[in-house]
Structure 1
């Protein structure tokens, strides 16, 4: 034994030297903790592991932190500078924690010496969890997971994954305050409990909750009281046996449930890393610190905007890169294709049908499955818009998944649910070709595995940069307390009555928070300037000045905390947009021009619509000056105030009153010289000045929306109250809008998108301008008065053209 002890110290020194050369780590919870230099520091590991201790010693030496090697003197007591909590002991029925002798000795020493204090720094070490390295069988075998690992696997992990170690350093814990407030035995138990809770939260955040076996989970779903009742109801309604309906429920469960596999997740990460490096010039993620602060003790529901099939892959990659567990993703059943569906299912996707309103058993199974994911702490991701946006706008939120989440939380509100709104900004989406066809009237094509082969040739084409912006998180309990204060009174009902109020409000709030985190890209800026000219051509120098103006307008407005602006100069933005194939640059004797073909202009509307909501209030003010030279604030408020709720609903903007928005817009426009403030009014600049041209271009951004509203109201008022059904009005308005684009020589299919007219009618009904009686739309004299007052916005020629179009085409 003496010989072995004499060899132990040199052996450890050799291991330290070898590991110090081999080890490569990174911090995930940056910045590094603020340590008290006057207070002794002890590091705590979640379990005894020689490899973790060596990694910690190496890290502290490189970072210049207090050493984790050797002992720390506390009066007459000496303790190791790095201690570990004992491993949990597994009993027959539960897992028990054991006492830590080092921790008990430390707290006893502090109790006996009131002048002493110690700071404990919890450190979690993950081998093989850090992304960005090569994929391989041995790396997967040796990577960290929830299973306890033996010495052989630890040794393999040090050899294989020593170059990608992830270090999570927690905030220091001051022990003096614990000892002073509690008796020693209680302080000993509470300190160990606080540390174990911290380590578990970090592990959940990095690896996700421990996954149950898929078949066990499905069986538990089917055996739940809610599903058993649905099985009984289905057997009665269909006149079949309980056994047959149970088999049907199990079949639904297998159709829905994911089959998450950590090796597949790591494989997909490495595959996606190579894909993004080849496809995009970079992926930037902003605002993840808010997510990291919530992960571990909150149920996270990621709700990104839906612009591309790449969205869920991109978000999972970004979260994994930052050390967070990729979420379980609600995917449409259309993606459950051969090979692709199986891979997505093992990557965390669970599948749902587009509609299951008439299948109560399927609905019960799906609801119970979602509830079990939420109650067990699995992060979720779903798209509140339902499908991808073909116009580039934020679509109206769909109630399905939001209602399921609210019902699940009402059943078990002990674990707080945090919604994470996410805006994903592309400079060029992979689906550009299919979106162009659909914008020009083509039918949506059904997905198939062959589509993957068709996009391979696009991997060599430039697709620009991708920006992922995290919006302001929303705490569900606080939201419900504000919206429906009595929600806890009847929360145990299968479908509480307050859902009808809470679900639309929740969807609207999340859509607003997504839009409030938009990324303005060079392509969207070029689209905003170029498409403001009806012939889709503009002088390069004018476009450069207008793009800079748009950025300056947005930069100096409040509420920009989560909005991102492009770096660089406008000339570089134009060159970048041309490189991506969206515009043409044509030299000319009097100066270079920027032009777009009809196909390019149609596609650019998608990118313009991504950020149009950020300028719509200023555009509305600018439009009022098209044929009016001056207004005072009261006149503008009277003229534009009734229009604002319609625009706010269409563009998913906050529901604040228009008066403060008007004040901010006027101040911003005046600061840029687009309006002139006098003693009693706001005036537009002289027509020959460049600022007048910029004001005109800005006002053109809102013109299509106002024209659609004018057409719809003109059709309704000409027909009379109680004459048209909602569907008939939508279709007649759409047809007139399509005719207007053809007569004007415009190539703007999104102008006559039927969903925009439907959203406009939703807003008018919500505001009380319209109501339905006997399935027809009714109104009173106030709508006619508002429409006549709104005519002042349009110049006489435009008003005459719209009016004549309506009167010629409607009976």
Structure 2
């Protein structure tokens, strides 16, 4: 009787639910399910819930999918088109009575009727997305968590979260392909197990693991065996009571730990949605599908590039909107300030000091806290560059967080750990004015709560679009298998001997994967072309042609595996750069001119450096023809091969499988664009009076600063006999030379004389065997002098003379 009553009320209940509920996310697009119309469709829910089945019924009607409330007639078997897996539970004494496996009758029918088949479609519905938590009113009231809800709680959840519902559709599963020679009951259990594994992975991806209450988590960290050992040792070393040292450890725990709150996540989702819509013309997301596949089976560590203070807010927002659990984010302690700090902490931020030096207890507490997050499967996010990039380049990775993550992995985790590289590309960053001051030599400004109100004043300014590109994930186990094959035998060592070698390699690999997912936008393109001109001025038509050339080069031979290109045409890109305030357009009798003032040009260097790595190889080849009208491939390879490792290391370019093959493909590509001509196995540049000659020159100038830095470094080194200079003295001398060159040349490129770039060049020279150290002095042989003399052919006499004069000073 109850069943017939519910059936009669199903239609009005469905309509009532449809009027109240709003699906915030449906994944994947129902049109991509590719349901087979020749097979019967059976929807499977993870547990019985009338609200879920009614919601699914309405959804299928709206999208013209097979109806879940229909009756399927499969031979003699009649069943509903939607079923739920039975609850699994225990009585006080032993298991509940064994029930017949849910798919047993269906499997038996298919075995008796070979012409029949059924496709299973797993469906997960989330009413809100509160991760499980030990305490809190919202656990009782608000949303789906790991604990299945009762009828009253589900009713309250529908009322509270009706505007925040997600529906996740699984890939259709052909039932007949799973039938084998085993009895129907065993086959049914196997199918149920597969479906339950799918549901568990979806819940892990969307909700993350259960959250411990912050106080409980801190207590667990401090009470751990490792922390108690360090507390005792620090108490003795510092001649303090154990109780006092214990209280200090607890204080460190409170200083560090996040306090992720579901109501705050909901609030920030709504707030940030309005903020992004106000600030940006759009947030474009690419490449997240691989991460979604990994999220249910691996612990994720997001490692984005760091260009703006809003990076972590933007990424957490994107992940939340895309149906993934927002990560716990490592933030600098400088952001733990009034108003901002508590909000960030409840949004998932945990805070860390800039340095752990000389504070063993703090280091131990932080390491234990991070290990507990990772070992329990919580997604984590941190910036391997440390601070924000003031130059726009990818900065050299810091080893700290990577080493802690790797040591945590060695201690043992229940699941695989995967790094997810993320490139965030802005057409205009909120910090443009402060970056401009810092690029012009001002010191870094300390963060303040007042900065929040300054941002609010700029909400009416245009900031263009933002791209969030997710790169190729890196599974840590596979990486260690390749770089440290015996790592599994070293799990009991706190610092295995290979750690100092593997951590920098891991950071570099992640940096290259971030750069391989770069987003090319209108401001990048304008900066690349305009800053390659001597006086930051160019004809509008030539600028448009050169921007189109750069995009064409990326379309045919992309500089990264997961890059994205701008939509529209060169005129639209030019208009966008003008709207954002980066250029000036001047009408002139002979044609429109595009100019950049001193401050505009200085700021444009930041946006050029974001994507300079994408054009490293084409620019290097183009520069080779600046002082040489023609080359055969062998000569060009001999000239450029020594320079490529230096450039690739500086710009974090993914290594080439074969430089000679890549060189040949680049020559062919430049030939297709009319920038080079081939005849009788020789490549030559166009005559100087042809437009393509100027386009080749502009392309080559992109790499000129990197080559000039290398020339200055080698010229300064080779002025002295082998074994004369220390590494530090050569870095400083090279920096001074580069600084002098920028002043004499009027370059708007403050990063040109960055000492870290010269340090990176020396790293590569040592790795490639050109340099080595004896008694802390740099040593070399005649091979380096020969290579330097050969490289002089890249530079025209005037430039070579200027650089040589500087080096002699």
1:168 and 2:161 are equivalent in the alignment: no
1:84 and 2:92 are equivalent in the alignment: no
Choose 412-421 or 158-167, whichever is displaced more.
158-167
Write out per-residue CA displacement over residues 55-82 of structure 1, whole angstroms, 9 at most, x where no aligned residue.
Answer: 1111222222222114333433333322
The SS at the match of 1:554 is helix
Give 1:287's aligned residue: 287
1:604 and 2:628 are equivalent in the alignment: no
Change in CA separation of 1:75 and 1:536 when aligned onto 2, cut-off 3 Å: same
Write out per-residue CA displacement over residues 531-551 of structure 1, whole angstroms, 9 at most, x where no aligned residue.
Answer: 111211111111111111111
Choose 203-212 or 63-72, whichever is displaced more.
63-72
1:374 and 2:378 are equivalent in the alignment: no
Q: Is the 8 A contact 1:88 1:97 kept in 2?
A: no
Question: Residues of 2 paired with 1:579 and 1:115: CA distance?
Answer: 64
Change in CA separation of 1:116 and 1:547 when aligned onto 2, cut-off 3 Å: closer
Write out per-residue CA displacement over residues 104-150 of structure 1, whole angstroms, 9 at most, x where no aligned residue.
Answer: 544455566666543332111122459xxxxxx99995443344433
Using the size of structure 2 for normalisation, the TM-score is: 0.94
The SS at the match of 2:459 is helix
Give 2:647's aligned residue: 647
The SS at the match of 1:125 is strand
Question: Residues of 2 paired with 1:182 and 1:346: CA distance?
Answer: 51
Give 2:796's aligned residue: 795
Within-5 A mapping of 1:24-423? 24-25=22-23, 26-31=25-30, 32-89=32-89, 99=99, 102-107=102-107, 109-110=109-110, 116-129=116-129, 142-412=142-412, 414-423=414-423
1:455 and 2:455 are equivalent in the alignment: yes
Question: Residues of 1 paired with 2:801 and 2:6: CA distance?
Answer: 95
Write out per-residue CA displacement over residues 655-683 of structure 1, whole angstroms, 9 at most, x where no aligned residue.
Answer: 23432221122111111111111113111
Question: Residues of 2 paired with 1:548 and 1:439: CA distance?
Answer: 29
- How many corresponding residue pairs? 800
Q: Is the 8 A contact 1:423 1:519 kept in 2?
A: yes
Choose 795-804 or 277-286, whichever is displaced more.
795-804
Question: Residues of 2 paired with 1:92 and 1:298: CA distance?
Answer: 34
The SS at the match of 2:534 is coil
Change in CA separation of 1:97 and 1:391 when aligned onto 2, cut-off 3 Å: farther
Question: Residues of 1 paired with 2:92 and 2:422: CA distance?
Answer: 44
Choose 96-105 or 550-559, whichever is displaced more.
96-105
Aligned-pair CA distance for 1:558: 5.2
Change in CA separation of 1:5 and 1:684 when aligned onto 2, cut-off 3 Å: closer
Give 2:14's aligned residue: 16
Write out per-residue CA displacement over residues 184-213 of structure 1, whole angstroms, 9 at most, x where no aligned residue.
Answer: 443343333322222121112112211112
Aligned-pair CA distance for 1:428: 0.3
Aligned-pair CA distance for 1:178: 4.2
Give 2:764's aligned residue: 763
Question: Residues of 2 paired with 1:747 and 1:492: CA distance?
Answer: 52
1:776 and 2:777 are equivalent in the alignment: yes
The SS at the match of 1:384 is coil
Question: Residues of 2 paired with 1:238 and 1:555: CA distance?
Answer: 62
The SS at the match of 1:48 is coil
Q: Is the 8 A contact 1:221 1:365 kept in 2?
A: yes
The SS at the match of 1:460 is coil
Question: Residues of 2 paired with 1:539 and 1:602: CA distance?
Answer: 20
| Structure 1 gaps, min length 5 | 131-136
Aligned-pair CA distance for 1:745: 2.4
Q: Is the 8 A contact 1:87 1:97 kept in 2?
A: no
The SS at the match of 2:331 is strand
Give 1:134's aligned residue: none
Give 2:710's aligned residue: 709
Question: Residues of 2 paired with 1:64 and 1:722: CA distance?
Answer: 77
Question: Residues of 2 paired with 1:320 and 1:168: CA distance?
Answer: 14
Using the size of structure 1 for normalisation, the TM-score is: 0.94
Q: Is the 8 A contact 2:140 2:153 kept in 1?
A: no
Change in CA separation of 1:274 and 1:92 when aligned onto 2, cut-off 3 Å: farther
The SS at the match of 2:283 is strand
Q: Is the 8 A contact 2:308 2:431 kept in 1?
A: yes
Choose 723-732 or 527-536, whichever is displaced more.
723-732
Aligned-pair CA distance for 1:486: 1.6
Choose 53-62 or 310-319, whichever is displaced more.
53-62
Aligned-pair CA distance for 1:6: 6.4
Change in CA separation of 1:161 and 1:597 when aligned onto 2, cut-off 3 Å: same
The SS at the match of 2:390 is coil
Question: Residues of 2 paired with 1:89 and 1:525: CA distance?
Answer: 60
The SS at the match of 1:489 is helix
Q: Is the 8 A contact 1:129 1:323 kept in 2?
A: no
Change in CA separation of 1:93 and 1:736 when aligned onto 2, cut-off 3 Å: farther
Aligned-pair CA distance for 1:501: 2.5
Write out per-residue CA displacement over residues 27-81 of structure 1, whole angstroms, 9 at most, x where no aligned residue.
Answer: 2123543333333332221122111111111122222222211433343333332
Change in CA separation of 1:747 and 1:57 when aligned onto 2, cut-off 3 Å: closer
Aligned-pair CA distance for 1:394: 0.7
Change in CA separation of 1:190 and 1:97 when aligned onto 2, cut-off 3 Å: farther
